[in-house]
């Protein structure tokens, strides 16, 4: 853990991770795979526990110039899972059953994530460019998500095309911050923020950001875009 960091920052991030887990449970619970929702969530809890133990052992925070970076081992399993789901018939059946409204709700967690990043910046754990004071505008996705849910799904005043465009923009914002975060980390290929690198993700509980929260939000956008594109082509 980052010893000089105020405890409320870590607590808020842990609560944000739990909120992401609960929201994702809601996504599956409202699909045709609701009977498997508890099993899937238990698997995710196990993954978070494994990552917690690995991070607390300082595996990610030592020898950060190794290639590939050790933190990549936290990214490969969730990204591989997403790839398998999209590449297989059973996987596509699963993702096509997930409700758009609940997938959109997932993006609300981006608000507390951005607040945490800002406080991490103030405590020298991430660079300013990773916050809304720098190059990161990802908080806009979190702020607008409830509006898309309300006007797009509950009031049905937004067309599917508008919701699709919103998903593409929000996905681009996610890619932007992930790219800047990777290139700001103290890896062999670091390009930015040498004075104040992105070290937070190497420590508990913030390793859960690349290991769970980011892949979950990415998955939500990819599924939403697939479903919305299928609707557009079907019309």
Three-class secondary structure of residue 195 per DSSP: coil
| CA–CA dist 198, 115 (Å, integer) | 15
Domain assignments of the chain as residue spans, ordered by start: 7-234
pLDDT digit of tens for each residue in the chain (235 aa)? 787 899 999 999 999 999 999 999 999 999 999 999 999 999 999 999 999 999 999 999 998 988 899 999 999 999 999 999 999 999 999 999 999 999 999 999 999 999 999 999 999 999 999 999 999 999 999 999 999 999 999 999 999 999 999 999 999 999 999 999 999 999 999 999 999 999 999 999 999 999 999 999 999 999 999 999 987 544 4
And the tokens for 44?
Answer: 């995710």
| CA–CA dist 207, 5 (Å, integer) | 15
Residue pointed to by tokens 């809601």: 26
User: Is the Cα dihedral 72, 78, 82, 88 positive or negative?
Assistant: positive
Q: Give Cα 119 distance to the centre of its chain.
A: 18
Closest CA to 177 of 103, 117, 107: 117
pTM for this model (two decimals): 0.95
């Amino acid at each position: 853990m980052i010893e000089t960091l105020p405890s409320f920052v870590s607590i808020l991030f842990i609560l944000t991770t739990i909120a992401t887990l609960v929201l994702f449970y809601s996504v599956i619970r409202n699909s045709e795979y609701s009977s498997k929702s508890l099993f899937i969530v238990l698997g995710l809890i196990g993954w978070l526990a494994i990552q917690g133990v690995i991070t607390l052992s300082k595996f990610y925070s030592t020898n950060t110039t190794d290639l590939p970076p050790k933190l990549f081992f936290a990214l490969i399993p969730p990204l591989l899972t997403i790839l398998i789901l999209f590449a297989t018939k059973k996987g596509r059946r699963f993702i096509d059953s997930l409700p758009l409204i609940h997938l959109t709700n997932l993006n609300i967690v981006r608000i507390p994530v951005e607040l945490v990043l800002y406080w991490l910046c103030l405590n020298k754990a991430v660079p300013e460019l990773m916050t809304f004071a720098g190059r990161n505008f990802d908080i806009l996705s979190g702020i607008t998500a409830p509006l898309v849910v309300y006007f797009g799904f509950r009031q049905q005043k937004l067309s599917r095309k508008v919701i699709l465009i919103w998903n593409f923009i929000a996905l681009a914002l996610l890619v932007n911050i992930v790219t800047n975060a990777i290139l700001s980390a103290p890896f062999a290929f670091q390009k930015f923020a040498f004075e104040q690198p992105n070290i937070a993700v190497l420590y508990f509980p913030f390793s859960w950001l690349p290991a769970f929260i980011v892949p979950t939000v990415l998955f939500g956008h990819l599924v939403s875009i697939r479903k919305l594109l299928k609707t557009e082509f079907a019309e």
